[in-house]
Amino acid sequence: MNVITMASRKGGAGKSTLTAHLAAFAHQAGRRCVVIDADPQGSVTLWHSLRPDGQPPLRSGARGIDRALTSAMVEGYEWAFIDTAANMWVVAQEAIRAATIVVIPARPGFFDLNAVRETVATARERNKPYAVVLNATPPKRGEREAPAVAQSRAFFDKLGIPVWAGQISQRSSYVLTLAAGASVCEGIPDPVAPTEVERLWTAMERSVAAINEARGAAGLAHGGAAHGEAA
């Protein structure tokens, strides 16, 4: 099972927002996916309660991440998106441990960028692939990124922290759609946001495929032990 864990010790970075939009996109693209809400604040649960068809299905992480993942796997889901809380680090760490890849949303601001380090350290300690996603960024001018985005990339480059090449811009459609139980991929007249989410999903799916391939190869080299792992 492919597990995408959204994590960041910074509240308001965009964990819940990205979880909802990515999961809705993946579902629409035909992936069998489930959303796990591991944040007692329940942002994703609230969004999900407004969805007319209840898709993709939601599971609570309240009784433990591993338990939620195991039952999702038994039910045949291929993808899990886990939303975590900034202030419940023990649960977030469990979600990081279970991750195929850790996605760390960050706004392009000095304090926000620095707050990423702790999450990166946890992912590194656990030997988990991770990437920062710049969220709520100023818009591009044509193909040119805003100075704040370019600066953020330079900051992470210096620290050797991988950053997704795209951006999720600051756009009201990311907020308004969620408030209506929808996502930016569900027929809204925004020319930018659906493309951004599609690009992020495509990058994510490619990364996960590469991770799985590398793991498969390592598994073969070690007698197949890594093959077919839960996460």
Ligand X SMILES: Nc1ncnc2c1ncn2[C@@H]1O[C@H](COP(=O)(O)OP(=O)(O)O)[C@@H](O)[C@H]1O
Secondary element (H or E) of residue 99? none
Using CB under 5 A, pick the residue from 28, 43, 55, 70 that binds Mg ion.
Answer: 43
Q: Between 100 and 173, name the residue whose CB sits nearer to ligand X.
A: 173
* Residue nearest Mg ion, CB atom distance: 16
The one of ligand X, Mg ion, none whose footprint includes residue 182, by CB under 5 to 8 A per kind, is: none
Site residues for ligand X, 74-113, by CB under 6 A, read: 86
Touching ligand X, residues 9-68 (CB under 6 A)? 11-17, 43
Instruction: Determine which helix (DSSP H) or strand (DSSP E) holds 114, and give its type and residue range.
Output: helix 110-125
* Residue 129, preceding peptide bond in cis (omega within 30° of 0): no
Site size with Mg ion, rule: CB under 5 A: 3
Report what 168 binds from Mg ion, ligand X, none; CB cut-off 5-8 Å by kind: ligand X
Listed residue (48, 54, 39) closest to 6, CA to CA: 39
Residues whose CB falls within 8 Å of the CB of residue 60, separated by 6 or more in sequence, listed in order = 36, 37, 45, 68
Stretch of 153-161, 166-174, 199-207, 209-217 lying at the interface with ligand X (CB under 6 A): 166-174
Whether residue 99 contacts residue 128, with contact meaning beta carbons closer than 8 Å, is answered with: yes
Selected from 33, 34, 168, 184, the binder of ligand X by CB under 6 A is: 168
Q: Which is nearer to ligand X, 71 or 87 (CB)?
A: 87
38 is written with which tokens? 């591991």
Which of 164, 161, 190 is CA-nearest to residue 14?
Answer: 164
Interface ranges with ligand X (CB under 6 A): 8, 11-17, 43, 86, 135-136, 168, 170-171, 174-175
